[in-house]
A and B are shown apart, each in its own frame.
Chain A
Amino acid sequence: MPELKQSATEASAEFLRRRLLYEEIVSANQGALLRCAMHLCSRVHSAAEEYVQDTLVRGYEAFLDGKFKEGTNARAWLIKILTNRFLHDRRRDKFHHSEPIEKLQSSIPMHAALCTSQQDSPEWLALAHTFSEPIELALDSLPDDLRLAVLLADVEDLTYKEVAGICQIPVGTVRSRLFRARRELAKWLTVHSHLYDQFAAPLETEYEHR
């Protein structure tokens, strides 16, 4: 009996040690995870928190199973869990012909007004300019695969190789998605340049055009 008690105590101590290690990883990466979730969920805070919470629980299970290799990029690992979950939900929603993020958005008065007013109308411009950065609205207009690539590479600053690992696609496909995404963003921002003066101003480049 004392042996059993001792092994139980050792097991609890091991759980405690792993929990502390995991909590360190969480506190170092929670902000990045929340930011990524906010952009994926089109800035619906409640949905983003739910995704982050779910990610951290799944992450803990994987951590206890020894699926996280120490010394690797914990942020990329957690973001991979988050994006897998998000894409899984999006595919399921498409299959069931529902759009929960958009529905959630429309339950927030500001978003509802933004969704219902006609694009380019004075009230849409006022709302869009007040509540979101133009680039955030531009990101919302991208399909999921392009949005994810540009978010991971350009906002989260992950390497192309890490993005390829997260999206489970070759590096060449990451490059091609990034090009398409940036071109779409550039187009959107140019069409809607009247949303903000900054973008309308000419960009000074080191290349003088002849």
Chain B
Amino acid sequence: MNIDEKDAQIARELKPCRHMARLVDSLADESLHGVARWYVELHIKSCRQCYSTFVSIRKACEQLQVLRNKEVPVNLSAESQSSLASLLDDVEKRRQK
């Protein structure tokens, strides 16, 4: 199966029921509460497509959280820091004139 065929197949699988689409998304990002949450949980237990969508979105959300914790440089490079300081000085000088 080439990548386009796989893409088409996955698009078919990740097609939740129309009225559930946003609710499934909210369940996956943990922002759904109360009766709505109970209703969606009940629905995905019996609907294969909504369940697949839920699992895939939950996985994507987990990957995004990995990205949140991924280490990036905390500060600008020394060169950028010093050029920033002089740019801020310029702003002050313009204002003081």
A, B in one complex:
yes
Is A135 touching B66 in the complex (CB atoms < 8 A)? yes
Is B14 touching A155 in the complex (CB atoms < 8 A)? no
Query: A168 vs B80: C-alpha distance in the bound complex, in angstroms?
Result: 30
Nearest A residue to B23 by beta-carbon distance? A179
Q: Which residues of B lie under 8 Å from residue A208 when comparing CB positions?
A: 45
B85–chain A nearest beta-carbon distance, Å: 9
Is B56 touching A190 in the complex (CB atoms < 8 A)? yes
Q: Which residues of B lie under 8 Å from residue A38 when comparing CB positions?
A: 72
Tell me, yes or no, whether A154 is within 8 Å of chain B by CB: yes
> Which among A39, A203, A207 has the greatest number of chain B C-beta atoms within 10 A?
A207
Nearest A residue to B75 by beta-carbon distance? A30
B74–chain A nearest beta-carbon distance, Å: 4
Is B51 touching A209 in the complex (CB atoms < 8 A)? yes
Stretch at the interface among A52-60, A66-74, A78-86, A108-116: A52-60
Tell me, yes or no, whether B10 is within 8 Å of chain A by CB: yes
Query: A139 vs B70: C-alpha distance in the bound complex, in angstroms?
Result: 15
Is A60 touching B59 in the complex (CB atoms < 8 A)? no
Q: Using A15-B92, A179-B21, A208-B45 as known contacts, say yes or no to A199 and B11 having CB atoms under 8 A apart.
A: no
Nearest B residue to A23 by beta-carbon distance? B88
Query: A52 vs B83: C-alpha distance in the bound complex, in angstroms?
Result: 12
Is B60 touching A189 in the complex (CB atoms < 8 A)? yes
- Interface size of A as a range: 35 or more
**Pairs of residues from A and B, 6 with the lowest C-beta to C-beta distance, nearest first:** A186-B56, A135-B63, A154-B64, A185-B60, A179-B25, A31-B74
Is B91 touching A60 in the complex (CB atoms < 8 A)? yes
Nearest A residue to B72 by beta-carbon distance? A35
Could you tell me which B residues sit within 8 Å of A by CB distance?
3, 6-7, 10-11, 14, 21-22, 25-26, 28-29, 41, 44-46, 48, 51, 53-68, 70, 72-77, 80, 83-84, 87-88, 91-92, 95-96
**Total A-B Cβ pairs within 8 A:** 138
Is A34 touching B72 in the complex (CB atoms < 8 A)? yes
Is A53 touching B88 in the complex (CB atoms < 8 A)? no
Query: A19 vs B73: C-alpha distance in the bound complex, in angstroms?
Result: 23
Query: A56 vs B86: C-alpha distance in the bound complex, in angstroms?
Result: 12
Query: A207 vs B44: C-alpha distance in the bound complex, in angstroms?
Result: 8
Is B45 touching A191 in the complex (CB atoms < 8 A)? no
Is B95 touching A64 in the complex (CB atoms < 8 A)? yes
Q: Which residues of A lie under 8 Å from residue B96 when comparing CB positions?
A: 11-12, 15
Query: A11 vs B96: C-alpha distance in the bound complex, in angstroms?
Result: 8
> Which among A53, A138, A183 has the greatest number of chain B C-beta atoms within 10 A?
A183
Query: A64 vs B26: C-alpha distance in the bound complex, in angstroms?
Result: 40
